[in-house]
Structures are given as C-alpha cells and as structure tokens.
Amino acid sequence: MNFSLRRIKKIVELIEQEGESVDKLASNLQQSSCSEMGSSIPMKESYGVEGQQARLDFIESQRALSLDALRGQKVFTELDSLKGNIEHYIGMTQVPTGIIGPLKVKGIYASGDYYLPLATTEGALVASYHRGVKACSISGGVTSVFMAEGVQRSPLFKFKNIPQAGKFAIWVAEQLEQLKKITSESSRYAQLQNMDTKIQGNEVILTFEYSTGDAAGQNMVTICTQAICEFLLLAAPVKPVHWYIESNYSGDKKANAVAFSRVRGKKVTAEVVVPEAIVNQILRSTPQKMANYWQSSTVAVLQSSSIGAQGHFANGLAALFLACGQDVACVSEAAVGITRMEVNQAGDLYASVTVPNLIIGTVGGGTFLPTQAECLKIMDCYGSGNSRKFAEICAAMLLGGELSIAAALSSGHFTHAHQQFGRKKS
C-alpha cells in the first residue's frame, strides 16, 4: 500500500473509533457563520497586579481550576520528581506567561472555545496572536483536523561491502512482525507502525516509525529501537562492522524535507474563512492585500531555500511549548509547515496552515511541573487522551498567528506594533 492511501485509511479508522461517520464528521467540521466570541479575557492593566489577578480569576472561573502555581502561591519543593528532567539543578527560570483567546476550534478531537497560555519575553507576540485568534473566532472558528502521527528513529549499520548490506536488508524486511513484538515488550505505549530501508553503498539505514500514545515519545522510541537493534545484532545472518542507534536521518530536532513531506510527531491541517468586514475591522487590512503579501512572501521564502513556507510558526510554538512543558528544542522541526491565503469568490479571505511535525505530549516530560500542568489544564489538555486535541489546538493557534502577521506586514503596521509593544521604555 502506498504511503498516501495508508494514511487516508488510518484517518478514516480514527474517525470511526470516535463513533462518527466520515459524512457526519465532515458536516460537523463545517465552519459556522460569524458569531460573537466567548467570554473575553479582562484586558485592563497588562502589567499591574490588579490586571493579573483579574485574568487569573477569569480563567479559574471559566475552567473551574485552581491556578495556585501561576499565581505564585504554590512553591515547588518536590525536587526528587525532577529526575529525568534536569541534572545539576539550581532553580527555576521564570518566563512571563500571557493568555489569549477564546479560540473557537472545530476538530475531530478539539471542539469548543479555548484559552491559550503563551510564555515569552518577546513583546507584541501575545497581542499579535490574540488578534489573530479573535478574528478566527468571530469568523465562526477554525476547522482543525488531526491527520497522522509517527515518531521515527533511524539506526545505521555498516558492513564490509554492498552484498553484505543487501543480505542484511532483505533479512530485516522479513522480521517486521517480530520487531513489532519486541516493541510491545519494550513499552506499554509504543507501537511499531512501519519500517523503511535505505542502502547507501555498504551502509544500511533502517527507519522505524512508531506511535507513542500521548507522549512526545523521543525517549520511548529510542529505548524500543535499542531493543530491536540488539535482536538484529544477535540474529542477523551477517554481522555489521559497526552500528549507531541514530544515523541522523530521522529528523530529530532539525528541519528536514523527509518529515516535511510525511509526518514526524503529529500532522494537522487547519482552515478558516475570514469575512472581508472582519479583515478590515480586526486585522486592519484587506483580503486582497493579505493574499498578495502571501504570494510575494512565498516566492521570497522559496528563494531562501527554506523548508516550507510560513510566517512565524516558531513564535507561537515556542511560547506554547514553554508554557506547557514541551521539549522546546523540538520547535526546530515543529515550526516547519505551509501557510496558504487566497481571496474566495465572495471576496473574503481563505487561509490554511498545514503542520506536519508537531512533536508534543500531554503526559511525561515537563508536563507534570506545576505551572506547566496548570497551563495544559487551562486548555483541557492535561494527561492521557489529550495529545491529538492539543495538536489540533496548536494548528488553530498558528493559523491565527499567520493571519495577524500577514495583516500587519501587508498593511504597514508591523513596525508600529513592535515599537508599541516590543521595546523597553527608558
């Protein structure tokens, strides 16, 4: 089965697991007509204690949560729990955290209005993303659809010559079911989905693709791959001269064309139609100006040999990852994607993003830390069963960010926004 057909069938299976038919889901995902936003975040006193407390009170009441850690009332003292997160611990680094929303999302897993915490020291970022998600929500919301998932590890085996490499590759191809069994014995959550083989002279690269449940999964797939490789070294009819657990082909923490064209982590696509009046009033631009800017900027980014074509995925992802206990270094691969904008027949703005490399988790890693756990809970994304929802929310947020920056650049108020919000006043 080719890659595309396999992925499509997997998406249909996921939909059916949620108790939906494809036709019913397609109807549910249709963007609503323009609507009022959900309850608005209190905007007074961005930098005052009274404003901070008002926003915390608001989120607590909206989500029925206690945010003692974000308030600074809960001090972290469980240092033993940091094993697996940090070595040579000396203390916590504090990063300011803001809130945006509500963002209306219609997805397979995410459905409703969400408030998103963003941790950053870059002035104008929170304001920009808030403006973009406001335009999306008033327009009826973002349709955001989880499409695929897979985390890879790519060990390399070197042999004396090509015939030995070929013999090993042929033998390994016949062991897939055994390798799946080894994976299930090595992890409660990982499942080996696929294996790809590349022969380069006397070297063989095996790429193992796993599903990792609700964890980001890099450590999980490394442990499973180690167990598989130990079996291969013991049982293979020809032994390698040497081998490495990672060949540097999998794309771990680096932008790469293979993951861009397929998936690494979770792949999501999202879209919105923003009526011309909302583009004018909220984004302070026009659909045609934004579509023109998108076209010119896409040609320019291609000339720079960038992988993908988008405005500033890294800004939103880094801020959300910091707030929610994700591996922030994965922004280097997660920020690869595609943004599209065009004017539809009604004169409104159609926009979409596709994000193929979201390495995220709602369990494990830093998700248990006090403020990070609270931030995930604000979005109802903490714990098992929530990683796909989190992925759909991430993509919807990125779409809002792309709208805001394209509006600012297309209408000439980008610099003024950074002068107003992004500079320290002496």
User: Active-site residues: which are they?
Assistant: 122, 327, 418
Q: Are 150 and 261 in contact (CB under 8 A)?
A: no
- DSSP string for residues in 350-402: EEEEEEEEE---SBSTTTTSHHHHHHHHHTT--STT-HHHHHHHHHHHHHHHH
Q: Give strand pairing partners of 117.
A: 99
**Residue whose C-alpha is closest to residue 390's, from 336, 326, 313, 329:** 326
Number of Cβ within 10 Å of residue 423's Cβ equals 10
Q: Are 294 and 408 in contact (CB under 8 A)?
A: no
What CA–CA distance (Å, rounded) separates 375 from 117?
Answer: 6
What CA–CA distance (Å, rounded) separates 208 from 180?
Answer: 10
Q: Are 305 and 228 in contact (CB under 8 A)?
A: no
